[in-house]
Amino acid sequence: MAEVLPLAVLLAALGLRGVLIANFLRTAERDMRTFRRQQWLVIVTLASVDGCLAWWFW
């Protein structure tokens, strides 16, 4: 069971990232809150899961 947990966490993070990228590409720039598209791209790329959560809740 202990060997499966890191894999499950990795798959969950990758799934979250995939959903975020799909949502990010479909969102018009005028509908983006707080930052421009380039700034969000940097946040999402560098912050991984935290960046994904910021995209949805910030």
Q: Whole-prediction pTM value?
A: 0.66
User: Comparing 5-14, 15-24, 42-51, which segment has the lowest mean pLDDT?
Assistant: 42-51
Greatest Cα pair distance in the chain: 46
1 pLDDT more than 70: no
Tokens of 12: 């969950």
Is residue 22 classed as helix, strand or coil in its secondary structure? helix
Tokens of 36: 């421009």
Q: What is the mean pLDDT of the chain?
A: 82
Phi-psi region of 56 (alpha: psi -120 to 50; beta: other; left: phi over 0): alpha
22 pLDDT more than 80: yes
Note down the domain range covering 25. Answer: 4-57
Tally of domains within the chain: 1
Could you tell me if 55 and 20 are in contact, meaning their C-beta atoms sit under 8 angstroms apart?
Answer: yes
